[in-house]
Amino acid sequence: MRTRLAATSLDTLVAIALRRSPRLQERTAAIEAAREEIAAAGALPDPMIGLSANGENYPGAGLGEDPMTMTALEFSQSIPWPGKRSRREAVAAARVPEMQAAKEGARRAVAAGVREAWAELYASGQAVAALRRTLVLFDVLEPQALIRYETGIGAQTDWLALRRGRIRLTSAIDRELADRIGIEARLAAALDDTAALAAIEADALPDEPEAALAPVAGAAFAEVAVAQAGVETARRRHDAARLEGRPNLVVGAEYGWRDELAPMITARVGVELPLWRGRKQDAVARAAAHGEAGALAAVREARLQADAEVRTLSAKRDAAERSAERLRAQILPLLDLTAESARVRYLAGDAPADLLIDALVDRADARAELAREEAARYAAGSRLRALAGLDPVAGDGREP
């Protein structure tokens, strides 16, 4: 029942984080901005308009008398070589799926971060509980040791040792609680809601479904999709750069007003001369070719890193599971026996309090270590599933 409740509560937190995360909101705004830039990338350059006046002696002199004297309004427009505008649009459009893949990677990271924080809160809570249970025993044993010392039954060193141990346990609890505040702060930042933390009770870890233990492919990671989308962006940028060396056309028209004389109308067509093409357009094309080669290498790197992450997280999950099982089945039962034996011997006067203190503290540390190993197992498995698009809430970002 506790694990089912934990799963429900945790899934709710993940959903809240995905809905309210400022990081995801920033990515969404960036994608919308990129969409707006698509049309702008393929737009015509702004036209130019100008006024002029000319005459034989000074501008406008002889207007209406001299046929070469006029006041003119000129309009000109630069027209890119056919295909340039569409390829520029294609480059801008290619950035959208690349950014969408990056946002999906951020979504998965947010989901993994929330689940990891829950696991850390669980481990911290279990550690504090173990230390407090031990502290209760010290609260009983310390007054007893003082009475034994005052009545001559026990040694003063036993009472002093128990008092020191009690103080150290109190300090250990304070450190755990301080660490917990940091974990809660990270979780609050992910949720963008500090009030939601008040209802969190991470007193259990959700069960992992059997399907979660199936092998995960690194190719499913969002980082690989980002790199693959980057190849398409680089390819389109290279195609566009190769066309940039073609000259643009310039068309224009001029209307000359000559007062009483007939107006003079002039039409112009020109071509931009790419005199510095070798240092400008060709250099940009060569740079784009290098960028495309780099993008292909980035895909290989992303796949290798994803596969390495799968192996690393799988190894951490499996090692934590084995360690937790050893603590549950072997170490903790032995420590229970050791603590009970030390308690009996201490009360019988056959052993000093130091032996009992060590046994109690070792058992509390082992219980805390068990919680940390369980949390490490769950955190590694959760991150692995989230990065592969298998989180039960975040999924892979596709519409069902």
Q: Which of 204, 287, 281, 217 is nearest to 247 (CA)?
A: 281
| pLDDT of residue 236 exceeding 50 | yes
pLDDT of res. 39: 92
| pLDDT of residue 36 exceeding 80 | yes
Does residue 369 sit within a domain?
A: yes
Highest mean pLDDT among 168-182, 198-212, 342-356, 385-399: 168-182
**pLDDT band per the 50, 70, 90 thresholds, residue 225:** very high
Beta-bridge partner residues of 114: none
Mean pLDDT is lowest, of 19-23, 58-62, 238-242, for 58-62
Residue with tokens 């034996």: 341
> Average pLDDT in the 220-247 region?
92
| pLDDT of residue 271 exceeding 80 | yes
Domain that holds residue 138: 2-387
Does residue 396 sit within a domain?
A: no
| pLDDT of residue 400 exceeding 50 | no
Does residue 102 sit within a domain?
A: yes
Cβ pair 369, 326 in contact under 8 A: no
Highest mean pLDDT among 33-42, 55-64, 192-201: 33-42
Backbone angles phi, psi at 384, to 5 degrees: -60, -45
Give pLDDT tens digits for 135-178.
998 888 888 888 888 888 878 888 898 899 999 999 999 999 99
pLDDT of res. 198: 57
Does residue 398 sit within a domain?
A: no
Does residue 394 sit within a domain?
A: no
Both tokens assigned to 392: 């039960």
pLDDT of res. 217: 78
Give pLDDT tens digits for 342-383.
989 888 888 888 898 999 999 999 999 999 999 999 999 999
Q: Report CA torsion sign: 186, 190, 195, 201.
A: negative
- Structurally, the chain folds into a number of domains equal to 1
Does residue 393 sit within a domain?
A: no
Does residue 289 sit within a domain?
A: yes
| pLDDT of residue 196 exceeding 70 | no
Does residue 301 sit within a domain?
A: yes
Instruction: For residue 155, give the CATH number of its domain.
Output: 1.20.1600.10
pLDDT of res. 90: 94
